[in-house]
A and B are shown apart, each in its own frame.
Chain A
Amino acid sequence: MIDQSLLELSKQLHLKQISSVELTQYCLQQMQAHQHLNAFISIDEEGALKEAQKADVLLQRSQGSLLTGIPMVVKDNLCTLNMPTTCASKMLADYHSPIEATAVSRLKALGAFTIAKTNLDEFAMGSTTENSFFGPTKNPWDVTLVPGGSSGGSAAAVAARLAPFALGSDTGGSIRQPAAFCGISGIKPTYGLVSRWGLVAYASSLDQAGPIAKSAEDLAVLLQGMIGFDSKDSTSVHGKTVDYLMELTKPLQGYKVGLPTSFFQKGLDKDIQVAVVKACDAFKQLGMEIVEVDLSLYPLWVPTYYVIACAEASSNLSRYDGIRYGHRSKHQQTLKELITHSRSEGFGKEVQRRILTGTHVLSSGYYDAYYLQALKIRKLIQDELLQVLEQVDVIIGPTTATIATALGQEQNNPVASYLQDVYTVAANLAGLPALSIPTGFKDGLPIGLQLMGRHFQDALLLAMAHQYQNLTNWHQISPMPTGDL
């Protein structure tokens, strides 16, 4: 039932060919039938059906909006009012937020409603969704593999056709990488386009919320609904008015695509490399020119990202002290123990690792050598990317160096896990928009293609992705047999 695009789904609902209750029941059944994937932390069956009924009333009266009647699933680090917001952490396992994330509110304003919160790496720190207090999510293509992270639950849910679309967040690749591992589409918008109000902060200067769905067209519909200045977020921007849907079909003749030579390095799987080159051919067909470009600072991307991300994380997670909300230790005799025990008990190993690293790089005596240095390099990285993006309009490349890895593989080697982020972190460091779409398979597992563009050129990326998806059908292949209902 949910193999259709969002626009088709919307049309069917408005034409009363299907009802929201039917659609929602279908999703809930699918979610039930695929519990082994462990994609969800909370499911609100009762609330979901109530919302669906309300939606059907509106649709009956022909009073619905674009997304009326369409259920969505939301990464559990985005605050919602109707279910806990746990961030997949023991620290917030029972936390009920009194605020709602703007990203969620904006889509609710278009008629969508939240039926479940999806699993993630704790506090969005990780690339496999194995760092979750609620256990790992499995990749729907092969349940012995990871779905990617940190938005693994959202990606798995969309790939397994359990929900029409999902919301995720991306700090160093957390939307794009699981989209790649799960064979679906996801976009990290230009920094500032989507309000961070209600997105539980990991690294404030890197975080962005974004949609995860089955096609670029779906992403365009959702992004349109999510963007826009929010006075509650000082880093939110007044974008120019864009119609992403209309821009999807804009002619791409003459646009230049940069392929960085440094991307094709030793760690990259050969089949992924071949797939990316093949994708370039498709863009040539669309009239685009492929140009070799050089990103010499590329080896600095990952270390710079981790210094900054850990520093900001250690700061943002200072508020979790067991005093006002969240986990409070029962084993404490002094104020100091109250705070330290609550935090040691409440946070998983990876989160503790990043807090310690972040605290270290901000400490007196180390600040200049690490954090300040990283800020300076970040500026250089951004400058280089912007320079290259003057010669070309878009930078293309693989989203990940490998296909989905096995569960348990990276647990003992966190640094190896960090190096997985090599292709994705640049967009966050520079605030540039970037998306991932499926581009083939290796050994039956999806390969992701990444497009990265200039600030506020999200529409161009979506247009390229959409027209690529007109020429290919990778995005239509799902691990699930279709037509259940």
Chain B
Amino acid sequence: MNWDITIGLEVHVQLMTQSKLFSAAATTFGSAPNEQTSFVDAGLPGVLPVLNAEVVTMAIKFGLAINAQINRQSIFERKHYFYPDLPKGYQISQFQQPIVEHGFVDVCIDDGSLKQVAIVRAHLEEDAGKSLHEQQPQYTGIDLNRSGNPLLEIVTAPCLTSSEEAVAYLKTLHQLVRFLKICDGNMQEGSFRCDVNFSVKPKGSSQLGTRTEIKNLNSFKFIEQAIAYEYERHTELLELGQKIIQETRLYNPDTQCTYVMREKEDAQDYRYAPDPDLLPLDISEEQIQAVSELMPTLPAQIKQELATLSEITDEDIRFILSTPCTYDYFRKASHYSQSDAKQILNWLKGYVSSLLNEAQLTFAELPIKAPAFATVMNKLHEKSLSQNQAKIVLQKLWQGIPTVDEIIEQEGFNQKTDLDALTGLIKQTIAEFPEQHQEFLAGKDKLLSFFIGQVMKKTRGQGNPEEVLSLLNRMLRK
């Protein structure tokens, strides 16, 4: 039996604001339990929510980036259920009138084709706290630091037909929200969480099969594996004539299996109702206009621009777009530099990346300022610095010496090659090795590098290799 796969994805993106959706508490990850929990987050008697304006700006940015309709009025609703990590007994979310609707992203699938993925809606909602079951033997700890964090829930139509498409979409979305600077994309910390809605149907059938939901997948690899497992599970059951139970499941990366999350119970009635503590969210044309003027260049457009640069490969583009900071740095460096993009890229991908990797830092934390880096590139380009010298300058910049000129001064890199001295050294060297000289003249060309090595030793590595080469060549053959 041949089966078609249908996948719809819900991604919860934590917005990169300073404070929470409805309270002033901080959103940073990793604090001690309940250290970042305000009275509002704890749902104490008498507290009230106040909307963080920054989240609205971020939601509008997202809506503009996916060509969506931005609703001029949207409503906050209460979604009711009881759980210890949901302090108010309801989550403030958006149900009937979300802030963003009917958008799309163009996704490049592995085979090179382009798929337009429909994004049905994106709405604002607050996150719940965390239940920590492992800390104490007889108790579950409730940490409300995450309670109230601002989330944008992004929902696709069930239009994805394979795990390749699903992962390609997620990677595109992940890159987009980072480049929009609305989410840090840190999946380990839970900033980007995916729920997969999965079903199969007989090939060619127009009726969708019963779906299962796999929640809280936080790595692309796990998503691929979970989808693969669900495919097997669904098709096996159906081929045995059994039914798929509509349920919520979790993925266990150790066993590489999904398992049921909740006991079978009646479908939850969330009793959605408009939140009377919050006014309807009105968005004006002026507001949208203002946000559109702040829009950063998006990955799709960056790709187009870069593709016009000669010698830049797809791999180069992937490197540049790997994080927004990498792109920012590359852009600034290019702006200040007269050398070509390829040279800049090679140094960033190569030497600079190795420095970062060793120090376990990212381009966001690179201690070398882009203008300084650009200066080094320029000097390389005009050959006033050798490759080795450039590396030393970069190291010194990393250590905190502020300007390139200072370093060049300190290291003596600016000494114009004393041609007479060099000529003298070369004469000396040739005189020291008469046998090799004869062999070279007889045709053993590779002895040139031997002589270069000897000369460089004498110059203590300071000689300009190109100059040494040309001079040696002339003088050897004289």
Contacts and interface: CB of A to CB of B under 8 A. Distances in A.
A317 B80 CA distance: 11
Interface string A354-370: 00000100111001000
A232 B51 CA distance: 10
Given A79-B45, A92-B45, A98-B44, 14 more contacts: A79-B46, A99-B46, A203-B276, A205-B276, A235-B276, A315-B80, A315-B90, A318-B82, A318-B89, A319-B43, A319-B45, A324-B43, A324-B87, A325-B44
Interface string A97-113: 11101000000000000
A231 B49 CA distance: 10
A198 B276 contact: no
25 contacts: A85-B45, A85-B46, A92-B45, A95-B45, A99-B47, A201-B45, A204-B277, A233-B50, A234-B50, A234-B51, A235-B277, A315-B78, A315-B271, A315-B273, A317-B89, A318-B90, A319-B43, A321-B89, A324-B142, A339-B82, A359-B271, A362-B271, A364-B269, A364-B271, A367-B273
A87 interface: yes
Interface in A211-259: 231-235
A312 B269 contact: no
Contacts of A101: 46
A301 B25 CA distance: 41
Contacts of A416: none
Contacts of A364: 269, 271
A161 interface: no
Interface string B13-54: 000000000000000000000000001001111111111000
Interface of B is mostly: loop
B49 A99 contact: no
Contacts of A231: 50
B89 A199 contact: no
Classify chain A's interface size. 35 or more
Contacts of B87: 319, 324
Interface string B277-309: 111000000000000000000000000000000
Contact of B48 (A233, A311, A367): A233
B84 interface: yes
B193 interface: no
A323 interface: yes
B47 to A, nearest CB: 7
Interface in B140-198: 142
A101 to B, nearest CB: 7
A371 interface: yes
A466 interface: no
A466 B47 CA distance: 35
B121 interface: no
A55 to B, nearest CB: 26
A196 B278 CA distance: 12
A33 interface: no
Most buried by A among B47, B269, B279: B47
B46 A199 contact: yes
Nearest to A371: B273
Contacts of B47: 99, 197
A139 to B, nearest CB: 28
A319 B81 CA distance: 10
A319 B40 CA distance: 12
Interface in B242-279: 269, 271, 273, 276-279
A200 interface: yes
Given A99-B46, A318-B82, A323-B142, A235 B279 contact: yes
Nearest to B267: A364
Given A231-B50, A318-B88, A312 B276 contact: yes
